[in-house]
Amino acid sequence: MTTKEVLVVTGCGGMGIAVARRLGAGRSVVLADYNSKMLSQVGEMLHNEGHDITTVESDVSSQESVRNLVSIAASKGEIKVIVHTAGVSPVQATPKQIVDVDVMGTAYVIDEFVEVVGPGAVLICIASMAGTLMPMATDIEHLLATTPTAELANLEILNPATMDSGSAYSIAKRANQVRVQVSAMQWGAKGARIASISPGIISTPMGQQELEGASGDAMRQMIEASATKRIGTPDDIANAVAWLADPATSFVTGIDLLVDGGVVAALRSMGVR
């Protein structure tokens, strides 16, 4: 009996569900989230749609929890695609939670999965256009990219006391982009690839919560000013994930793919750096 390829999806919110649907058919899908109620509801929904689903309650801000997820996923077969969507946004979380989940969680996923992947595997981490728009000195970016995970949270730039949730999120997402880039070497040594996607404003539960929050008006103005003048859908992101996960992109690694409907393009055309 041939074993199926394994698809791991962290986060079973808007993007995680779209990715599982887009890439899950014919694969063994390992779905992870720390919200056990949502995890079992989404797992059941995808199972009823015909997918082969294993749910794993996992908190990505805990290295031990990520390690447990990796070992369960590896026991299912050859891990081919990992899509890390689990994360928290400024309206949902304190600066400390954003550092713990968005920065450390992504670092743990990168570090733990590289131990078990083989040739042809790919990890796609979801960053954000907030990271693309975050001005940052090159030496700080280098620290965020290369500081060993065990010391990462000690960096002054990640001190939660020095920032609000909005700036914590932008710094976290820039950290994701640069850490993914530098990790391409380690993943390449395994014959595997890694990339990030930076979504613009996407209509998921998180996106809708942000639109209802203090930044909602500014976000609507960004959509209106953008090249496409529309909000993104979870499928827009799943399509980009599918492209990056395809063996046809075997020459693409260490990149960040901006999928924002042209919001950053519009801001740059207005002189915003």
From 34, 80, 108, 173, the catalytic residue: 173
Distance from the Cα of residue 140 to its chain's centroid? 21
Is the CB of residue 60 less than 8 Å from the CB of residue 105?
Answer: yes
Interaction pattern, residues 143-182, with ligand NAD; x per rule: CB under 6 A? ----------------------------------------
* Cα 241 from Cα 175, distance rounded (Å): 20
229 labelled catalytic: no
Residue from 7, 28, 51, 85 in contact with ligand NAD (CB under 6 A):
85
Q: DSSP string of 8-49?
A: EEE--SHHHHHHHHHH-TTSEEEEEES-HHHHHHHHHHHHHT
Q: How far is the CB of 220 from ligand NAD (least distance, A)?
A: 12
Interaction pattern, residues 112-131, with ligand NAD; x per rule: CB under 6 A? --------------x-x---
Of 21-29, 32-40, 47-55, 221-229, which segment contacts ligand NAD by CB under 6 A? 32-40
Q: Closest CB to ligand NAD among 89 and 181?
A: 89
Q: How far is the CB of 128 from ligand NAD (least distance, A)?
A: 4
Contacting residues for 158 by C-beta, under 8 A, at least 6 apart = 99, 103, 144, 152, 171, 175
Catalytic amino acids? 169, 173
